[in-house]
Amino acid sequence: MENKDIDHLFRHHSGKMVAVLTRIFGLKHLDVIEDAVQDTFIKASISWRKEIPDYPEAWLTKAAKNRVVDIFRALNTQRTHYASIKSGTDAIAINELFLDSEIEDAQLRMIFTACHPKLDPRDRISFALKTVSGFSIKEISAALLTKQETIKKRLFRARKAIKTLDIQFHIPRGRVLKSRLESVMEVLYLIFNEGFHSNSKDQLIREDLCSEAMRLCQLLLKNKATRMPEAYALFALMCFHSARLETKIGANNEILDLKQQDRNRWHFPLIELGNTMMYKAVDTEMFSCYHYEAAIAAEHLRAKSFEDTDWNKILQWYEVLNKLQPMPIHLLTMAVICMQIKNLDKAESYIEQITPEDLEQRIYLYYAAKSDLYAKQYNMKSAKEYLDIAIKKVNNSSEKEYLQKKYNQL
């Protein structure tokens, strides 16, 4: 087992351990629990230098059970609990909480806690990646292009809010479940998007973020209470996008857009899985934004070549999506689609509705689209000017190189 495999195992098991131990001791002891889990991994990493156990995950689960006793000691409760933990009903109950089904239940509780709508939206993703997914502060900082000190403050704010607001460690029921689920899916969607199109300088794709978002979404689908049409649609969208991941980057780390990608290398088992999820997703009277985004992604996958793409159908889906969820990035995409179908007037009208600053870190896409529009209008001087702005504003080196090639072609 290589170091990266061990890191992967530690990360995934960390979230499980924190969730189960939180279920035993409560959210108010989250700091102690996270410290205990981290200490377990440090001891494991030292112990495994000589020899990795035959069943590493079982080793970590056993270590987590042993930590229960240590945490009781740390919380000064051994007088009342310690004796019965070693044997008897408490020991049986704790063992049951480490069953696979109970671990999944604990993780789902943690997801709903981390994505609680009362938490600051900026804090939810950081807190989810830390407590549910086991990402380190350094990894979260790199993934979200945010200073480590800022991530620490966000995690502190989230923990403080959980205590102050007395947020419960449970899966909501009844009417409140739907709104809470919307908050969870929004966080998972953002985590996946950051992986699919990262703002990182050196890495365009973060597969670890994509796979983690998909893993957490699967937990929603395994639970009867949270297995809703929009969750199926979100997972279908993730499947459709993930099917193209390997073809987005070329042999020399250059960006390959849809026109350049080798469609024979798209991962068809994921496309099939996405289609299956969509059949379940459409069993509803009302479609969510995830339904429409998945439909758009499926339309791209359905085309045998870039030239065969049904751009009018995709534009239709985007128009509905933008009515449901108005966003500047939707307007920009609609403008790009209109350029594909040579409706330049409509493309220009969409671009004119956008305030570039609203696109935040994706602002360079606005200037790149303006450049494309001017190029199609044979105004090469303005096309080069706007593309030059885009190049200066883009952060990722692969995207900068991609735009530079376009500039050279102009």
Strand (E) or helix (H) holding 143: helix 137-144
Query: If pLDDT is split at 50, 70 and 90, which confidence band does 35 have?
Result: confident
Q: What is the CATH number of domain 326-410?
A: 1.25.40
pLDDT in tens, 181-198: 999 999 999 899 888 887
For residue 326, what pLDDT is reported? Answer: 94
Query: Highest-confidence range of 47-51, 72-76, 313-317, by mean pLDDT?
Result: 313-317
DSSP 8-state class, residue 223:
S
Give the number of C-alpha atoms closer than 13 A to the C-alpha of residue 362, restricted to the C-beta side: 16
Q: Confirm if 371 and 222 have CB atoms less than 8 A apart.
A: no
DSSP per-residue codes, 245-291 = GGGSB-TTS-B--TTTS-GGGS-HHHHHHHHHHHHHHTSSSS--HHH
Provide mean pLDDT across the span 10-22: 85
For a pLDDT cut of 70, what percent of the chain falls above it? 92
User: Which residues, other chains included, contact 373 with Cβ-Cβ below 8 Å and sequence gap of 6+?
Assistant: 335, 339, 344, 347, 348, 351
- The whole model's pTM is what? 0.86
Could you state, in order of their start, the residue ranges of all structural domains in the chain?
Answer: 1-98, 326-410
